[in-house]
Structure 1
Amino acid sequence: MKQKKTRVAIQGIKASFHEEAAFKFFGKDIETIECNSFKQTCDSLERKESDFVIMAIENSIAGSLLPNYTLIREYNFAVVGEVYLPIQLHLMALPGVKFEDIKYATSHPIAIRQCVDFFDDFPHIQVIESNDTAACAKRIKEEQLTDTVAIANTLAAELYGLNIIERRIESNKKNYTRFLVLKQDKTEDLKEINKASICFQVGNHVGALSKVLNIFADQDVNLTKIQSMPVLGKRNEYYFYVDMEWSNMEQYDKAIRQTLKYTVNFNIMGEYLKNDKV
């Protein structure tokens, strides 16, 4: 009997950076479920139309994708992994198109922002925003646009048969995006865990947050990220999203137990294996 492929919901279409991140984490033998928005990826997982969601959570230039933190918390999905993807952006066009033929360049707004230095040198090229990097490449192929280039990854060039006419046009060559891997339920069979994503609130009084942070410091648990988000409709109330790493599991467990005394709405969003190779 043929084994069913793992189904991974991605925001965007095939050959988008989300699909590239999914391939990096799961390998290429997966079925990607294309979704128009991050909310749609969550709906797909909730309806069991996919087994996992891969979701961008931060970019080293553009910063955190704040709405995605809210989605993970509201859907109550488990974070079961992470993947870091270097964002390499290329200019691609139909075969035979030369650089001097180009009048328009099209891509996702964040990708465009990452290439502003390049386009400053070519003011005659009109830059047009679109909803997805790979979709821009697909449109050039389908509509046979000879005056337009897409800014996308090599995966998109290969899939849609485009030529890369200028490589690595991103301004910052150390640009990467971190993606989280989400599942409906926590995975109990993870043999090795050394990283966690948690969420909590603290009282609005002097030293409330520092007390919690000091508990982790005392137990040698390294906090790698803290992100605050206002609680909707409540003044001066915040959710704190914290990523942490440890080398001693007992110390991590002890820190979590102690933290519970000083927090409300405490939630371990996921415990997983650190995977920060770019």
Structure 2
Amino acid sequence: MNPDPGDLIHFTPGLHLLAGPPGIGTSSLAHQLALEAAQAGLETLYLAPEHAAAQTRLMHLAQLSGVPLNRLHQMTPTTPLDPDIRRRLSAAAEHLYNSGLPLRRLDGRQAKEALQDLLGGRPRLPELLLLDRLEDTPVSSDHTFQPSSITEYQERERQRWTALTARLQTLALQWAIPVIATTRCELKDAAGPQLADLSALRIGQQAAAEATSVTFLHRERYYQSTERDLAELICLKGTGLLWNYAEFDPECATFRPQATRLPHGQTPCSGRMKQ
């Protein structure tokens, strides 16, 4: 059952950052939010500047049909289909054809061009904008700049990201819409989970300070083998996302919200939890 827009998007107008280490599932969650928002009737624009179009199309089909993503990757025009798989894919295709979801998804070069237009204030913004990822957003830079050290280069990059987040925040407030952008965290200790804090963000704390909210995605199975792939959203700033806990289905790249508290015997091993 799809929630209505008021229940689904628990965001105020502004820039909302969704952070996590590489491969933890922030892109899957962003795409799921975009799809569910469109199904709930919101005009949604999903931009993935560094993603291949085929990659996001398969994720879209997996989330809509429930057919495992790895199965979709293996399919060819001559692949014999199980009757249940055929039924689910046909239902997803019919749903897309009949409903005309207000979800516009752009990848690669098209996404970069659309972002440049958005940052320039040219087109009308949708009701919800999702950007995957913030670091992949093309921004103007001084090509004559020659850093003398890695530290100097990283500082210049953080300055660019701060300017970018400030611009996105301004646009979101001007148009009174939520803008959700994924961003990466730097792993300080790859051997185990770390406390979620703003200093772990690759874009830097100053850039994060420009955003309305910052939410950190944590999954236990990312660090160790567990029976269930439980996920937690930790709000570091603002109100964050609607749910606290979910179970991740890697086959369909989908998060399924769980009860407010973890099942008996399960304890989160992440940092500060949302209240």
Q: What TM-score range do you get, normalising by the shorter chain?
A: under 0.3
Query: As a proportion of its length, which structure holds more helix?
Result: 2
TM-score, with normalisation over the residues of structure 1? 0.26
Higher relative contact order (CA 8 A, sep 6+): 2
TM-score, with normalisation over the residues of structure 2? 0.26
Q: Which has the larger radius of gyration?
A: 1
